[in-house]
Amino acid sequence: MTLEQFGWNEFFAAQLPAGAAGRVASANHGRFLVWTAEGEVDASVSGMLRQNSPLWPAVGDWVVLRKDAAVIVKVLERKTKLSRKQPEREVREQVLAANIDVLFIVSGLDRDYNERRIERFLVMAHESGARPVVLLNKSDLANELGLDLADIVARTAALSPGVQVVSLSALTDHGLDVLPTLLAPRETAALIGSSGVGKSTILNRLLGDERQRTNAVRAGDSRGRHTTTSRQLFVMPGGWLLMDLPGLREVQLWASTEQVQESFDDIVGLAAGCRFRDCNHAGEPGCAVEAARLEPGRLANFLKMQKELAHLERKIDPRLAKETRKKWNAIEKSVRSHPKRKG
């Protein structure tokens, strides 16, 4: 095997001679399986990297190893980075995958299909720099569940014009042959979605081997248990690479408010016609967004994500938080000084 077969290209070669690098293929509790030109290496992280580097190795990263030991001493600059906010209250970035070219957003049609969740995954994809493709899995159940598959595909495509939507069934292999055509040899893709949507089954069918363990979903709500517990990279038969990510229960964004606006450019375009520049699209007179009568859930999701990320930015940037508090203190003071007259 050569490093080029693992995705090494000019972007990384400009940072380091190829012979000194390796790619992280899996990570588990501080231990990393690294692919090198000489073979697989089970590596740890150096103390200096642990203490001083802002980059912690993620699956898909290109790293530098010590010449005399299986120890990672440096993480190369990433071409793309898929992140979310660390779950719960901790304000910290969690890098899910690095250096991926295509993000396969997988949604199951058996009660898992949720346009609002797909919109969140699309924001994550656009922020990462990877090209998103939405996979609607379990299409074999469409007739049984009384679903209009063509309508669901059209509605999903409308969430982000230009994003390809593929309906498939990993169980019957229908549509799976499309996926390898979406990547060039040596490009890297990742599968992301909730537990139980069939990510591991898709991987196994594409590999032609039961490499990843799978479980049936619950009959009541089609939810799955975490069968994939670690992130892992695989070389596919066509020469491209595919990463299977554990199912996500929470999709907390680590992105910019500007990226949300890019993902909802239809709403942003309408907002330019609002009477007031600071219109919140929540009952203000002359609101062009409300006048357009968009699907209520889409507008509500846009506003929710804008508010969520504005809060995140204030948490990350103390100066911004201070300015926000100062602004609202001034507003409250003005209200106290000029109470409303009783009619």
Instruction: Compute the C-alpha angle 272/84/235, nearest 5°.
Output: 115
Residue 338, pLDDT > 70, answer no
Both 135 and 230 in a single domain?
Answer: yes
pLDDT value of position 262: 79
Both 70 and 112 in a single domain?
Answer: no
| Element at 203 (helix H, strand E) | helix 199-207
The total of structural domains in the chain comes to 3
Average pLDDT, the chain: 84
Both 159 and 273 in a single domain?
Answer: no
Both 110 and 236 in a single domain?
Answer: yes
170 domain-assigned: yes
Share of the chain above pLDDT 90, in %: 54
CA–CA separation, 40 vs 315, rounded Å? 40
Confidence grade of residue 221 (pLDDT, cut at 50, 70, 90): very low
Q: Which of 92-106, 159-173, 287-301, 316-330 has the lowest mean pLDDT?
A: 316-330
161 burial type by CB count under 10 A (0-12 exposed, 13-18 middle, 19+ buried): exposed
Instruction: Compute the C-alpha angle 281/303/152, nearest 5°.
Output: 105
Both 90 and 117 in a single domain?
Answer: yes
Closest CA relative to residue 100, chosen from 72, 123, 77, 130: 130
Q: Identify the residue with better confidence: 321 or 199.
A: 199
CA–CA separation, 234 vs 95, rounded Å? 19
Q: Identify the residue with better confidence: 341 or 56.
A: 56
Residue 219, pLDDT > 60, answer no
> Among 17, 47, 75, where does a domain finish?
75
**Mean pLDDT computed over 134-160:** 93
**Mean pLDDT computed over 201-223:** 64
pLDDT value of position 212: 57
Neighbours of 254 (CB within 10 A): 22
CA–CA separation, 187 vs 4, rounded Å? 10
pLDDT value of position 81: 94
Both 235 and 86 in a single domain?
Answer: yes
Q: Identify the residue with better confidence: 334 or 273.
A: 273
CATH code, 291: 1.10.40
* Residue 106 DSSP SS3: strand
Cβ distance 253 to 305 under 8 Å? Answer: yes
Residue 173, pLDDT > 90, answer yes
Indicate the pTM of the whole model.
Answer: 0.82
Residue 201, pLDDT > 60, answer yes
> Among 198, 221, 244, where does a domain finish?
244
Both 292 and 156 in a single domain?
Answer: no
pLDDT value of position 279: 87
Q: Identify the residue with better confidence: 226 or 339.
A: 339
> Among 75, 109, 126, where does a domain finish?
75
Residue 320, pLDDT > 50, answer no
CA–CA separation, 144 vs 152, rounded Å? 15
Residue 331, pLDDT > 50, answer no
* One-letter amino acid of 86: Q
